[in-house]
Each structure stands twice: as C-alpha cells, then as structure tokens.
Amino acid sequence: MTSAFDTTVWRVLGNPLVEGASDDASGRLAGETVAVKDLYAVAGFAIGAGNPQYLREAAPEASHAAALATLLGAGASVVGIAQTDEFAYSVAGVNAHYGIAPNPRVAGGLPGGSSSGPAAAVAARHASIGLGTDTAGSIRVPASYQGLWGLRTTHGAVSRAGLLPLAPSFDTVGWLTRTPELLRTVAGVGLRSTASLQVAAPERFAVAVPLIFAADEGVQAAFVDGLDRLTRRGVLPAPEIIELGDLVELLAAFRTVQAAEAWEAHGDWVRAHPGVLGSDVAARFEAASRITRPQATDARASLATHRAALDAALQGRTLVLPATSSTAPDRGASAAAVDAARVATLSLTCLAAIGGYPAVSAPLLEVAGAPLGLSLVGPRHSDLALVDVAARFAAAFAA
C-alpha cells in the first residue's frame, strides 16, 4: 500500500491540488479525485515527464491540458501529479530516478507503465480516477497488472492539447478506475466533444490464435477458461477465429514508427543531455536515433497496409484477447525477463494502436491469484459501447 506521499507514486500531492468546478449543472464527477500522469499540463506546474532534469528545465504551464480541464469542469478535483516512466517510453513501470511504484494487488510485482503512478494511486484508493495516456499499452498494461478498469480511447477522439507527446500517430488519452460504472461515467464526460461519433460495439466476437499463444501458459489457460465461462453464461456468442497477418512484421513496423516519432519529439533534448536517462529508456532512444528516414517511410507504408488488413479482419467484430502476455512480473526479475514480457505484451497491445481503435482492459481474470485483464478492441468510436460490453461480462462473472 502507498503512503500518503510516496515519491514513487506522486511528484506533487495536494489536498486537493486543483479544485473541481462547482458550477457544472451536471456535476457528473463531483466528489471524484484524479491522479494526473506527469505528461499533462496542470496550470501553475511544470511537466516533468518522469525525468528530474527535464522537470528542472521546464516552465510552469499557463493552463490545464484539455483532457484535464474536461474532468475538472465536470466536478472532479486533482489530488496530485503522478509519476510516469520516462517520456512514457516503457510499459514496465520502472523509473530509474523516482523508483518503482508499488503494485497494491501483487506484492513485489511491477506496477506496469507508463501510467504507473496514476494506476498505483487508484489501486491504493488515493484517487478514484487515473488520467493517463496509451501509446502502445500504457493504460491497459497497468490496468491488467493491478486489477483496474482501463480505457484507451479512439485515436483523436479526445483532444491531446497540453499533453507532452511520445508518438503522435498513436498517443491517446485514457482513464483508469476501480469500477466499470465510474469508467463509463468518466468516458462519457471525456468523450463529450465527439459523442455524436460514438457507435455500437459489434455483437460478433473474434479471437486470433497467435495472440493467445503470444501469452504465457498461465495467461492462455485463464483466457480460454474465461471465454468458456462467458459463453456458458450466454453473454458471449461463440467467438470466430480470424487471421490478423504476420504479428512479428506488424510489431516491427509499429516499433519503428513509434521510435522515429519519439526521436523527432525528444531527440534534440536527449542528445543535449547525455547520461540523464535511465538505461532502459536511453537504449530505446539510442536505437530510435539510428532509424533512417527511408526506414521510417517504409514502416509507415507497411503500417498503412496492416491497418487496412486489420479493418477488414475486424469488420463487424469485437476482438477479444488477453490484455497482457503475463501477470505483473516480479520487480526482482532480470532486465532481460522484464524486456521479454514487454515485447510479448506489445505484440498484443499494438493492434489497437495501429488501428487507432479503442480498447478496454477489464479485471476479470486471474492467474495464481494475480489479476489479469480481459481486453476488448472494437471499431473506432465504439469506446462507450466497449465499456458497456465489458461491464456486462463482469456482471456475468459475478453472478
């Protein structure tokens, strides 16, 4: 459990830090508290991006990020600015400068990143809402590892104004909560500006066998058992088996474009500040610096082809898959083991990023007592409907 002020979780903590509006007629989020990932602008505070040197050089923000302002306008208050993996370039939840946030659900387990701080704050009940981001899985991974509800929104459906980018082609706003009811309310508020675009989730469901085999054996067994329980209880029609193409090639193209955009966003700063990044993130930026323009162009073309193929394969279907390839790795695991889990998980989470699709991680499964998310990926702008479907699944599990 976190303490009231645990620096592995919080960069700044208030009581509250920013008061929510009291004049919103709806007051849909009145009484809720928000842990804000340290990539969003909070008026009067600098963005730290998980790096002390970056924080020292950053100026205080003049106004709130758009996604934060929306929550405040609906009555939620900010309890604090929460830690992130450096520049959000990780899904492990390891920060070389501030330490590793606790995982309240798995003693000694990694919290998952890069929304590690907001997730830990919500799981420990120090906030009811985590405002995070998801580029390659940074909402879904900590949600899965810590038994939370998480939503990666349709790419571009929520304004990213005031959000420090990593890879703009994939960066999305997302939220973490402990209940599906609150996630649905938060999503309704956060997606208000694009509500007219929301569509129903397809009632046909699909699985892709290679995605199941990308996970470890415990996850495979829990996932198959979970699907069986849902079908026997009549809430999940028998899923169709679909092909999604070469997952290795797809992930390679995604990582190349992500890296190229990360270097474009932060390469000048990284080059001017040698030695200030943790070794894992430094290695990723070093690799990113070597990507040539033709390589990035080729990878973008490949992704466009893959995106079209995904659209065709998922037409009229909701994809069901494990949210992560494993439960939370032990924080004492070797760097190689953590990286292997990261790469395997990215092969699952990158699909939504490539397609710009919304994705939910629902805490419905367990492996040896550790939480595991069941993920749903739907058509663009089916965000709210996906939460509703996942909540229906959760009710069936509880019955």
Q: Is 114 a catalytic residue?
A: yes
CB atoms within 10 A of CB 156: 16
Q: Is 26 a catalytic residue?
A: no
Instruction: Return the structure tokens found at 399.
Output: 């019955």
Amino acid, single-letter form, for residue 308: A
Single out the catalytic residue among 77, 115, 138, 382. Answer: 138
Long-range pairs for 308-316: beta carbons < 8 A, 24 or more residues apart: 309/244, 309/245, 310/244, 310/245, 310/351, 310/354, 310/355, 311/355, 313/206, 313/242, 313/243, 313/244, 313/245, 314/206, 314/242, 314/355, 314/357, 314/377, 314/379, 316/202, 316/204
Residue 394 — left, alpha, or beta (φ > 0 → left; ψ -120 to 50 → alpha)? alpha
Residue 317 to residues 169, 239, 284, 376, Cα–Cα distance (Å) = 24, 9, 35, 10
Single out the catalytic residue among 90, 114, 326, 375. Answer: 114
Residue 84 to residues 101, 193, 213, 229, Cα–Cα distance (Å) = 10, 27, 30, 36
Q: Is 325 a catalytic residue?
A: no
Q: Annotated active-site positions, please?
A: 37, 114, 138
